[in-house]
Structure 1
């Protein structure tokens, strides 16, 4: 701390704090630039149902036979210009969703989720890419959110309403750690977009309540941003500098 006296006035200058602010913090996540990833295309994957009502009817039919539906979706994070971006599918230039889908009855949760991710984003058999753009297995991390569908309706909640004893669907969002390089192939009828957190935040009108809440889910983590050469170019506030 420095005190400067000028024309009878005393001014105190306090240097910026160098203390960290990361106690009891989740492990820091390293984010790679979106340009590190190779994007290809594969055969289209049409929606199973022609309408919302048909989708809800199928949900009801499956519930009566197998019970509550289990759905897993992935939050894949990269960065652009030192800001986190979420890789998100866009369908028909209007509807946004995370990669993933519902599990089959009796299917293991994590292994089944990896199968759904491969169906959406893994290269098609026979597609060839450079050796360093490998396609190793998905690294599934924390479950960062759960959403519940209490009835055969479009409404979902981040909790089970008190009067509901048998929810019809539980959707989990998992953080998926992206490696330094990865090949991602997108069905021809979809687009894969990198959506910044500032665009998602408080924007339920465009993205819906589930997707617009992702910035809150990720606020528990600190991020470390690296460039194409694996050089750290930025960190979250509170992390020690090197």
Structure 2
């Protein structure tokens, strides 16, 4: 199986359908990490293949709860493979502070579209994606997979830019508008 086929949208949707038949609705958790750069909030995102952007996180295993699952996914995605080479201080792994759940997106069918609500005619959604605010630990070493880049995207770049980032990521400025950022 070629790499392109393995990661194509159609292949991802087929895996979703196969997993749905085996385990039920997929539950996904992602972290919104805000950093301040040049006096303006930015969101940490992973860029794949110079085109596709995503928040750090992934889907949960059946029976796994949101907060511990998100901490594990953040460690899997952003922590060094060999944490001893960076001399982590006590509890440096899994030291993420998970905050408010800012959004839930629902996939009603085996399609690419997700909605911030469950449509009235849908009784069994196929996926629920939750976005949580994640406070960055004071000292954290990030290690990103080779096929990805970790970028700080300015909030003003995301705003009303669903053409480039998609509706979920473009909604982040609206979701964060309930917070008052104080730069120190």
Q: TM-score, normalised by structure 2?
A: 0.92
Give, in whole Å, the separation in 1 of the partners of 2:63 and 2:33. 26
- Map 1:96-175 onto structure 2 (within 5 A): 96-126=53-83, 128-129=85-86, 135=92, 137-175=95-133
1:218 to 2:161 alignment: no
Tell me the alpha carbon deviations over residues 133-162 of structure 1, each in whole angstroms, 9 at most, x when there is no partner. Answer: x83511000000000000000010000011
1:78 to 2:35 alignment: yes
CA shift for structure 1 position 131: 6.8
Name which of structure 1's ranges 79-88 and 47-56 shifts more when overlaid on structure 2: 47-56
Give, in whole Å, the separation in 1 of the partners of 2:65 and 2:79. 19
Q: Identify unmatched segments of 5+ residues in structure 2.
A: none
How many residue pairs were aligned? 180
CA shift for structure 1 position 109: 2.0
Give, in whole Å, the separation in 2 of the partners of 1:125 and 1:182. 14
CA shift for structure 1 position 51: 1.1
Give, in whole Å, the separation in 1 of the partners of 2:120 and 2:102. 22
Q: 1:176 aligns with which of 134, 139, 154?
A: 134
Runs of 4+ in 1 over 4 A off after TM superposition: none
CA shift for structure 1 position 199: 0.4
Tell me the alpha carbon deviations over residues 151-176 of structure 1, each in whole angstroms, 9 at most, x when there is no partner. Answer: 00001000001110100000000000
Give, in whole Å, the separation in 1 of the partners of 2:144 and 2:56. 10
Aligned to 2:24: 67
CA shift for structure 1 position 123: 1.3
Name which of structure 1's ranges 179-188 and 210-219 shifts more when overlaid on structure 2: 179-188
Q: TM-score, normalised by structure 1?
A: 0.70
Give, in whole Å, the separation in 1 of the partners of 2:110 and 2:143. 32
Q: 1:90 to 1:152 in 2, by over 3 A?
A: same
8 A contact 1:141–1:177 mirrored in 2:
yes
Q: 2:148 aligns with which of 190, 195, 214?
A: 190
Q: Secondary structure of 1:54's partner?
A: helix
Higher CA-based Rg? 1
Q: Secondary structure of 1:225's partner?
A: coil
Q: Identify unmatched segments of 5+ residues in structure 1.
A: 1-45, 227-242
CA shift for structure 1 position 107: 1.5
Name the structure where helix makes up a greater proportion of residues.
2
Q: Secondary structure of 1:89's partner?
A: strand
